Structure 1
Amino acid sequence: MLNTLLISNVWFYVLGVPALLLTSLSKGGFGLGLGVVTVPLMALYLPVPEVVAILLPVLCLTDLIALWQYRGQWNWPLLRLAIPASFIGIGAGTLAIHHLGEVWLRLAVGLISVDFARRRIFRTRRVATTEAVPRLRPASCMFWGATSGFTSFMANAGEPALTMYLLPFRLSNRSFAGTTAAFFAVVNLTKLMSFSMLGLFTRTTLLTSLLLTPVAVLGTYAGIRLNRRLNATLFHQLSCAILLVIGVRLIYTSLKVIV
């Protein structure tokens, strides 16, 4: 009986479980925006809204774990405008999600994936130590906060926008992880209410979320430990390469349908 209520596509789990592990590692503070990998991989076999609905309860739990582990280490000046701005993005996503066709959502996820991978690859070639830390600009806070809220709502892909916003400020590993945890704890809890009102949760998505929860919890604690111990450069490069390939595939398959 339980098997009939869970997602039955084997490839969803074959690709989705490692992708969720990457996401939870990122939630734990190991990796810059690696959470964007999960939806593109899972979306190869399921509709994007269903994938997002499966992941959201799991991510809310991992957010709370990360928030507790990095309590008091977030950068409030950077969050003060970004969090309210995210509500604008979430509101726009609430209005848009039922009006965008599945093919357009897949295309958007593909474009986000490729753009994030491109930015990360080219950024590693710069000499960051020679760059001055920028001043905090309210317009930038609002833009990236709203963009992160919107892309998070539509495809659980809010990390790239927030990462692009935070990276220039050169936060310590733990401050970066704490700031990210605080932002997405608020964003995902807000999304949880919006998704409930929109009726996007089903018995199947919730049971599948429950099945995947142990993987996410394990990955989050692993990310917390790795945040303190490892140089993540090679890990980031490999993840960006994977993300680039997935993004190109999603764009190609979407354009085939559109054209």
Structure 2
Amino acid sequence: MPHAVFVTNVGFYIAGIPALLLTGLSKGGLGLGLGIVAVPLMALYLPVTQVVTILLPVMCVTDLVALWQYRGEWSWPILRLTIPAAVVGAGVGILVIHRIDTVCLRLGVGVMSVDYALRRGVFPWLRGRPHGRAVEAANDSVRPRPTASLAWGTLSGLASFLANAGEPALTMYLLPFRLGNRCFAGTTSAFFAAVNLCKLVSFSTLGLFSETTLTTSALLLPIALIGTYAGIRANRRLNSAAFTRCSCAVLLVIGLRLICTSARSLF
């Protein structure tokens, strides 16, 4: 039987198209971390590691688009602490990626999805109270705490490397600073552009890319770009609160299903 040059699972694409639209919207600056939706949805049909490998080239391209759009509108005081920490987290991911059982990884993604959905959508008071004035543009007035920056940066880098799930950790770290829409989008764009570049080199070294994963990435790229440009256009025009709540509800259902299926496999 000839080897397929792309993923042929129909369910994967049915789940992947809306997931990538949400990811693109998040990359474009709308949704506050909704890119985490992609892996849980696609992981219903493929192993988590394969899903992450397929998504990585797509994310690298959308990162460049967002980085150009929000160039110079990021918070350097935050980035200079979190990016090195994220590289450390990715390094830890390199060491453990082949030692983590697929079922456990799927369970971890499910737990993180449920936790994030509850914090952002169902019980937003769990996020904690924001402090200070909103920072409407990139400047040096932000004074992040080094310990928190290093901890959250490392966690985000590790979660991103293993399951493309670094956005919730970074989002929960950034929310108390009350960054303006464009400053928030620029900071997350710069952070994940650096993280995904590191991942791209690491995944290539580990031999995770194949003809199948790269061809599938190319097929999905236009969907992600549509979402990214839509997110960029909507960044200043739409109130994302209702959109985020609805997406968190979907994420909650997906996360619960991943937890249930993983628990059945384990027990």
Give the structure-2-normalised TM-score: 0.93
Select the residue among 133, 139, 162 that pairs with 2:147: 139
2:5 alignment partner in structure 1 = 5
CA distance in 2, matches of 1:138, 1:171: 18
Q: CA deviation at 1:135?
A: 5.2
Q: CA deviation at 1:119?
A: 1.2
Sort the Cα spacing of 1:79 and 1:126 in 2 relative to 1 into closer, same or farther, 3 A.
closer
CA distance in 2, matches of 1:3, 1:97: 25
1:87 alignment partner in structure 2 = 87
Tell me, what secondary structure is at the counterpart of 2:94?
helix
Normalized per residue, the structure richer in helix is 1
**Structure 1 vs Structure 2: percent identity of aligned residues?**
64
Q: CA deviation at 1:4?
A: 2.6
Q: CA deviation at 1:216?
A: 0.9
Amino acid at match of 1:224: I
Sort the Cα spacing of 1:139 and 1:125 in 2 relative to 1 into closer, same or farther, 3 A.
closer
User: Structure 1 residue 161 and structure 2 residue 162: aligned?
Assistant: no
**2:73/2:186 contact within 8 Å kept:** yes
CA distance in 1, matches of 2:4, 2:101: 27
CA distance in 1, matches of 2:128, 2:165: 27
Sort the Cα spacing of 1:124 and 1:69 in 2 relative to 1 into closer, same or farther, 3 A.
farther
2:139 alignment partner in structure 1 = none
Could you tell which deviates more after superposition, 192-201 or 112-121?
Answer: 112-121
Tell me, what secondary structure is at the counterpart of 2:159?
helix
CA distance in 2, matches of 1:205, 1:126: 36
Structure 1 residues 70-81: aligned runs within 5 Å: 70-81=70-81
CA distance in 1, matches of 2:68, 2:174: 20
Could you tell which deviates more after superposition, 157-166 or 1-10?
Answer: 1-10
Structure 1 residues 10-25: aligned runs within 5 Å: 10-25=10-25
CA distance in 1, matches of 2:159, 2:150: 14
Q: CA deviation at 1:123?
A: 2.0
1:28 alignment partner in structure 2 = 28
| Per-residue CA distance 1:28-61 (angstroms, 9 max, x = gap) | 0011110000000000000001000000000000
Report how many residues are paired: 258
Q: CA deviation at 1:175?
A: 0.2
Amino acid at match of 1:123: P
Q: Could you tell me which runs of 5 or more consecutive residues in structure 1 were left unpaired when the two chains were aligned.
A: none
Select the residue among 249, 254, 265 that pairs with 1:246: 254
Q: Could you tell me which runs of 5 or more consecutive residues in structure 2 were left unpaired when the two chains were aligned.
A: 134-141
2:43 alignment partner in structure 1 = 43
1:103 alignment partner in structure 2 = 103
CA distance in 2, matches of 1:257, 1:220: 36
User: Structure 1 residue 183 and structure 2 residue 184: aligned?
Assistant: no
Amino acid at match of 2:76: W
Q: CA deviation at 1:128?
A: 5.4
Select the residue among 220, 224, 237 that pairs with 1:212: 220
Tell me, what secondary structure is at the counterpart of 1:61?
helix
CA distance in 1, matches of 2:129, 2:105: 34
CA distance in 1, matches of 2:205, 2:160: 17
CA distance in 2, matches of 1:196, 1:136: 33
Amino acid at match of 1:100: I
| Per-residue CA distance 1:69-123 (angstroms, 9 max, x = gap) | 0000000001111000001110111111100111011001101101111111222
User: Structure 1 residue 192 and structure 2 residue 193: aligned?
Assistant: no
1:123 alignment partner in structure 2 = 124
CA distance in 1, matches of 2:235, 2:3: 37
RMSD: 1.9
2:137 alignment partner in structure 1 = none
